[in-house]
Structure 1
Amino acid sequence: MNSRRHIEELLKNYSDIIASVEELHITERPHLTVIRAKIILINSSVLYVREIWRNEEKVAFSYFWFSPDGRLIEGWDNAPHHPEIETFPDHAHTREGIRPLRTSNLTAFLEKIRRSLLPP
C-alpha cells in the first residue's frame, strides 16, 4: 500500500471542503502503516483521522469531526467499547448518541462532510 499517495489523492479529491492540512503523519514499517491527520475544513471545523493498516488490511480507524468551538459533530471508529451495537466494533458517535456504522472508510466520511458543508 502506498499510504502517502493514497491519502494525498484523497485530500486532493476533497480539496473543495478542505481549507488546510495542519498535520499529516504517516509511519510505514514492514507490514504496518499508521496514518494520522488533522484537517481544517472550509467552515473552520476540524477533522481528526487515524488509520492503522496491517498487511494491507485496515485494522483500526477513527474519524472525528468537531465544530470550530470543539463540539463533536460526528465520529466513526472501531474501538471495541460498544458491544451492544449491531455493527460492533464499528460504530458512529453522534450528538444523539452511539449508532451502528455500516460503511467505515474515510471516503464515505468525507462524502458525509461534503454533503453537510456543500448542500445542493
Structure 2
Amino acid sequence: MFYNIIQDFSEIIAAYSVTKFEKFGSATSLVAQIEFKDRSILHIKDYLFVDGTRKYAYHWQDAGGVLRMRWDNSPHHPQIANFPHHKYLFPDVVAESHERNLRDVLAVIRQVLTT
C-alpha cells in the first residue's frame, strides 16, 4: 500500500526511504521518509496496534529543517474539536485535522507545492 501511494504522488516526490516496516498479525509499524522535489521532507511514523488503536505522526519540514506542518494524534490538545487528531500549521498554531493517513497528508502537500 505504501508503494502504491508513493506512485500516486510521484509528480511531487524526489526520493523516499523506509527505515522500518514490520507486520505482526493485524499490527503494523511503519517509519519512513519522503523527500519532495522542492527538497522538503516528510517524516512518517504510523503504528497500528493489535487492539485496533493507532498512533501516527507526519512531520513535514523544509530543506533547512524548519517545520512546515505536522499532523498527529497524540492526546495533548483536548481543546481541539476532533481530539486527539490535530495539526501544527506553525510551531505555535494548533488546528483541527481531518488528515489522518499518508494519502490525505500527501494530498495537502501536493496542493501546497503545486499552487
Q: TM-score, normalised by structure 2?
A: 0.90
Sort the Cα spacing of 1:51 and 1:106 in 2 relative to 1 into closer, same or farther, 3 A: same
> What is the CA–CA distance in structure 1 between the aligned matches of 2:25 and 2:93, rounded to whole Å?
38
User: Is contact 2:71–2:99 with CA below 8 Å preserved after alignment?
Assistant: no
Q: Does 1:85 align with 2:80?
A: yes
Equivalent of 1:106 in 95, 102, 107: 102
Aligned to 1:43: 38
CA distance in 1, matches of 2:75, 2:93: 16
76 and 25 in structure 1: CA distance in 2 versus 1, 3 angstrom threshold: same
Q: Which 5+ residue runs of structure 1 have no aligned equivalent?
A: 1-5
> Residue 91 and residue 108 in structure 1: after superposition, are their counterparts in 2 closer, same or farther (change >3 A)?
same
Once the 2 structures are TM-superposed, how far is the Cα of residue 57 of structure 1 from its aligned partner?
4.3
Q: CA RMSD in A?
A: 1.7
Equivalent residue, structure 2, for 1:76: 71
Residue identity matched to 1:15: S
Name the % identity. 26
Q: TM-score, normalised by structure 1?
A: 0.86
Q: Tell me how many residue pairs correspond in the alignment.
A: 114
Distance 1:62 1:28 in 2: 18
Change (3 A) 1:40 1:80: same
Decide whether the 8 Å contact of 1:20 with 1:40 is kept in 2.
yes
